[in-house]
């Protein structure tokens, strides 16, 4: 490994630094997304069941126990604002949902930048290596040997390979994160509609009889 680093030249330093930073982001985001795994369908069913029985506190406690998932945060803020007009509650849920999705997307922009920069650094190393090889050729003239050109060619090939080797798996990880977050966002949107309908029934019932918690 150290052989390739030294042969790759100075450009390998930012390439390796980018790989370390990108890997750190991938591990951190994977851990965050892993912690928000939840059976959202069952969760929403339990929330609605509590609302149908007018058990607001029980529903809030259920949200608190699952606070890491975006839908739990959306349900919590909706329940806390349950006495507001329904259109206002919908806007509050939408805003909270967007905030929760932004939390999940945190640092993905940095990962996308690393994915784009790594191959470019590799190509930069290729150009630098070729320049180095041609300068050696120019200096040696007709007496040029393979050994004289090898250093520049090594640098050209190694940096290109390093940039692509890092960028390709990072790109796959990025796509996985983005698709997973889109799936969560879709669930939040669909579940928010169900919760809105349940809150509408709750408000209608509250107009007919006093609320009991």
Task: Tell whether pTM > 0.95.
Answer: no
Q: Is the pLDDT of residue 153 over 60?
A: yes
Q: Is the pLDDT of residue 212 over 50?
A: no
Write down the pLDDT at residue 15: 92
69 DSSP assignment? S
DSSP 3-state assignment of 210?
coil
Closest CA to 180 of 70, 76, 84, 66: 70
Q: What is the pLDDT of residues 76-119, one digit of tens each?
A: 999 888 888 888 988 999 999 999 999 999 999 999 999 999 99
Write down the pLDDT at residue 41: 87
- 152 pLDDT tier (thresholds 50, 70, 90): low
Q: What is the pLDDT of residues 196-205, one digit of tens each?
A: 888 888 777 7
**Six-digit token pair at 174?**
């990025």
Radius of gyration for the alpha carbons in the chain, expressed in angstroms and rounded = 28
Q: What is the pLDDT of residues 9-42, one digit of tens each?
A: 788 889 999 999 999 999 999 999 988 888 888 9
């Amino acid at each position: 490994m150290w052989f390739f680093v030294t042969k790759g030249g100075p450009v390998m330093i930012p390439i390796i630094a980018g790989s370390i930073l990108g890997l750190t982001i991938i591990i951190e985001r994977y851990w965050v997304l892993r912690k928000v795994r939840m059976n959202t369908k069952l969760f929403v069913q339990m929330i609605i069941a509590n609302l149908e029985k007018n058990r607001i506190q029980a529903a809030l406690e259920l949200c608190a126990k699952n606070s890491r998932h975006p839908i739990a945060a959306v349900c919590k803020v909706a329940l806390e604002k349950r006495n507001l007009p329904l259109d206002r509650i919908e806007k509050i849920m939408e805003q909270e949902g967007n905030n929760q999705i932004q939390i999940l997307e945190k640092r993905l922009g940095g990962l996308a930048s690393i994915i784009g920069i790594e191959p470019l650094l590799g190509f930069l190393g290729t150009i630098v290596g070729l320049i180095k090889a041609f300068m050696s050729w120019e200096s040696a003239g007709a007496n040029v040997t393979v050994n004289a050109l090898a250093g520049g060619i090594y640098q050209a090939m190694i940096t290109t390979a390093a940039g692509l080797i890092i960028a390709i798996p990072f790109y796959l990880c990025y796509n996985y994160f983005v698709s997973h977050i889109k799936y969560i966002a879709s669930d939040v949107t669909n579940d928010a509609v169900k919760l809105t309908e349940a809150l509408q029934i709750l408000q209608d019932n509250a107009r007919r009889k006093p609320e009991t918690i």
